[in-house]
Amino acid sequence: MSNQIQKFSRRCFISIATSVLIIGCNQTPQDQSKSDQPDNTVEKSGKVNIYSSRHYNTDNQLYDGFTEQTGISVNLIEGKDDELIERIKSEGANSPADILITVDAGRLWRAAQAEIFAPVESAVLEEKIPANLQDPNNLWFGYSKRARVIVYNKDQVDPSQLSTYEDLADPKWKGKFIVRSSSNIYNQSLVAGMIEEKGQEATTKWIEGLVSNFARSPQGNDTSQIEDVAAGVADLTLANTYYLARYADNPEVFANVGIFFPNQDDRGAHVNISGAGLLKNAPHQEQAIAFLEYLASPEAQEFFALGNNEYPVVEGTPINSVVESFGEFKDDTTNVSAYGKNNADAVKIMDRSGWK
């Protein structure tokens, strides 16, 4: 009997309702940890296991804030998006993972197609997350967004010359445009969004014109495109807004480039998200849903906006002063799940049109 009493004294029962209360637990929650061996306990406990492909140190504030607010500790596993999805699939019913966090709606769509998510019915998330930034079947939700915009060399381009993504295919930009590879998910999602708006035929014609304007073969990442435009290697590129914000303390780059939000007179600028979903074999479902709802809270939205130069998805959240200096813009309200739905067609069109 004494052994049973000792075992009982070490156990905690977590009850999650509108707010999270820790009842009858004599031990403090475990600290957030990083490990390749996540906790495998199936019974409800004061923890949540998160698999994340976001590699931003500032996200630690999110996890610390959640633990502070709820008493639920976070066990974090980081990896590349496709590797994490495959890991969850291979772990199957024995997976310890509760939440998958990743960047780009195309990747979230891939995870949904892999049937690793479970739908979440939450009045909190339905109210706070815009409908176009969540899965139509409530499998995942977007928590931060970034716009993919035109970055131009201020000495070579007058912003009055700029207008739309479509205009980048105009022969006036021949030899003046650079961009990263078609294998990049951000570019694939941009093209997938164009397919949703314009159809495959118009998108093919656009990409053929874009490729004919390349100043060089695609190479590097978003930051190298920005740096090369600043250095005069080319006049224009496409990049996510938060990459440019990182150069605020680098006048050699930041002072030489401008940012332009395309398509403000019609559908708006292309936006993408970071998002998360509940995994169908989550051993800590209630805690996981509490975490998803926390990500839509004012505190978490500020962490996204101020910590990593992203745009929050909840209206009224303060944003980073550098990002704010880019100005207000209208964003495309196409449901971002279309980026995944049209991804295969986007890749085919890009390959056929010579965007390597």
Per-residue pLDDT of 267-308, as tens digits, reads: 999 999 999 999 999 999 999 999 999 999 999 999 989 888
> Are the CB atoms for 109 and 341 separated by under 8 Å?
yes
Look up the CATH number of domain 146-271+324-352: 3.40.190.10
The pLDDT of 162-191, averaged and rounded, is 97
> Are the CB atoms for 104 and 186 separated by under 8 Å?
yes
Q: Would you call 13 helix, strand, or coil by DSSP?
A: strand
127-145 pLDDT, tens digit per residue, is 999 999 999 999 999 999 9
Q: Would you call 315 helix, strand, or coil by DSSP?
A: coil
233 has a pLDDT exceeding 90: yes
40 has a pLDDT exceeding 60: no
16 has a pLDDT exceeding 60: no
Q: Which amino acid is at 132?
A: N
CA–CA gap between residue 356 and residue 347 (Å, rounded): 10
The pLDDT of 176-180, averaged and rounded, is 98
Q: Which two tokens stand for residue 207?
A: 């990409």
Burial of 163 (0-12, 13-18, 19+ CB in 10 A): middle
Our measurement of the distance from residue 64's CA atom to the centroid of its chain's CA atoms, rounded to an integer in Å, reads 20
Confidence of residue 157 (pLDDT cuts 50, 70, 90): very high
194-204 pLDDT, tens digit per residue, is 999 999 999 99
CA–CA gap between residue 143 and residue 133 (Å, rounded): 8
83 has a pLDDT exceeding 70: yes
CA–CA gap between residue 348 and residue 294 (Å, rounded): 39
220 has a pLDDT exceeding 80: yes
Q: What is the DSSP string of 67-115?
A: HHHH--EEEEEE--HHHHHHHHHHHGGG----EEEEESHHHHHHHHHTT
pLDDT > 90: percent of the chain: 82
pLDDT > 70: percent of the chain: 87
CA–CA gap between residue 70 and residue 138 (Å, rounded): 24
**What count of other Cβ atoms lies within 10 Å of the Cβ of residue 240?**
23
Confidence of residue 60 (pLDDT cuts 50, 70, 90): confident
- Residue 306: the pLDDT is 87
19 has a pLDDT exceeding 70: no
Q: What is the mean pLDDT of the chain?
A: 88
Look up the CATH number of domain 12-145+272-319: 3.40.190.10
- Residue 33: the pLDDT is 40
51 sits in which H/E element: strand 47-52
Q: Is the dihedral of CA 335, 312, 108, 206 positive or negative?
A: positive
38 has a pLDDT exceeding 60: no
169 sits in which H/E element: none
311 sits in which H/E element: strand 311-312
**What count of other Cβ atoms lies within 10 Å of the Cβ of residue 290?**
22
189-198: b (≥16 Cβ within 10 Å) or e: bbbbbbbbbb
Q: Which of 108, 60, 99 is nearest to 81 (CA)?
A: 108
- Residue 209: the pLDDT is 98
- Residue 15: the pLDDT is 36
- Residue limits of CATH 3.40.190.10 in the chain: 12-145+272-319, 146-271+324-352
Alpha-carbon distances, residue 101 vs 77, 276, 289 (angstroms): 10, 4, 13
| Residues contacting 23, CB < 8 A, separation 6+ | 12, 13, 14, 15
